[in-house]
Structure 1
């Protein structure tokens, strides 16, 4: 687990001993990523390289520059409000339309509804100018429990068969605003 020192962009990695009856579960071959004590949680392949940044967290299939993909997540705490009316699908579509890359294809918006969250994502295909190679970018915005997350996943088009299941698992396991009192147990705080 990584924790950010107050006022500084450096991170401290801390390893904790898990309780024998901990509540953490993920699909075999995956590990659980949790940010903000449960503000955002999802599963990523267990052997992926992790890089915390000042305002986001990145995962790569190999340490850069030898990677073929990048999964990045950031999140914000939202003020008390009725976010159920926020035009999530429209917002994701607008993000894709305004993308500055050489977009050659755009999917329809996919929406998911969870007990405490709404999620929308879209895929664009573009030509990477440095490699002159086709690539995909998937862009997700999630809202729930006064948390807004942005998840992006960029990967080469010829790696789609291998990497699409990773995105599927991130989307299937994404949970927002389920806070964890003690990371050694994995049990959520009571409401």
Structure 2
């Protein structure tokens, strides 16, 4: 179990032994990512490589330069407020419309309604030209709930969609915002 916290623009990783009666549960083959005591939480494949960035967290299927996909998350703690009227769909549409890559398709915007969060996501298909032209997908999610806003992106090759789409599905299914963890050794959560 690792937990990170920010101090002077550096993340600190701490490994703790879980108690025998811990409440952490994830599907087989996945591990649980928790940022800032539970501000953001979701499941990622167990064997993926974790790379903390200055303002985000990246998960890669392999160590670079052999990686074929990248899942990245950033989040903001918002001041207490009623964020229920914030235009999530319009914001996501703007992000997609302003994407600077060679976009060849845009999906509709999907909405996931949770008891304590609103989540929207969409997909673009683009031509990646870094090495040789190759079709790729980018899925983009904005979540807002419990005074936490998150942005999750997932970039992968079109020809790997069959194996990687379930990863995205699990991230979205397990995405939890603002469920804070009192003791990371037990996984006992408390609401914001």
TM score, norm. by length of structure 1: 0.96
Could you tell me which residue of structure 2 aligns to residue 93 of structure 1?
A: 93
Could you tell me which residue of structure 1 aligns to residue 81 of structure 2?
A: 81
Could you tell me which residue of structure 2 aligns to residue 178 of structure 1?
A: 179
Q: Secondary structure at the match of 1:84?
A: coil
Q: Is the strand fraction higher in 1 or 2?
A: 2
Aligned residues: 190
For structure 2, the 5+ residue unaligned runs are none
| Cα offset, 1:93, TM superposition | 1.2
Q: Secondary structure at the match of 1:188?
A: strand
Q: Secondary structure at the match of 1:65?
A: coil
Q: How big is each residue's C-alpha offset from its partner over 1:119-165, in whole Å with a ceiling of 9 and x where there is no partner?
A: 00010000012131100000000000000000000001111001000
Q: Secondary structure at the match of 2:190?
A: coil
TM score, norm. by length of structure 2: 0.96
Could you tell me which residue of structure 2 aligns to residue 35 of structure 1?
A: 35
| Cα offset, 1:2, TM superposition | 4.3
Give the 5 Å matches for 1:83-162: 83-131=83-131, 132-162=133-163
Q: Secondary structure at the match of 2:23?
A: coil
CA distance in 1, matches of 2:4, 2:178: 18
> Using a 3 Å threshold, how does the CA distance of structure 1 residues 140 and 101 change in structure 2: closer, same or farther?
same
Q: Secondary structure at the match of 1:179?
A: strand
Contact 2:4 2:36 in 1 (8 A): no
| Cα offset, 1:81, TM superposition | 1.7
> Using a 3 Å threshold, how does the CA distance of structure 1 residues 119 and 43 change in structure 2: closer, same or farther?
same
For structure 1, the 5+ residue unaligned runs are none
| Cα offset, 1:12, TM superposition | 3.4
Root-mean-square deviation (Å): 1.2
| Cα offset, 1:190, TM superposition | 5.2
CA distance in 1, matches of 2:3, 2:177: 19
CA distance in 2, matches of 1:190, 1:105: 39
CA distance in 1, matches of 2:140, 2:191: 31
> Using a 3 Å threshold, how does the CA distance of structure 1 residues 184 and 163 change in structure 2: closer, same or farther?
same
Q: Secondary structure at the match of 1:66?
A: coil
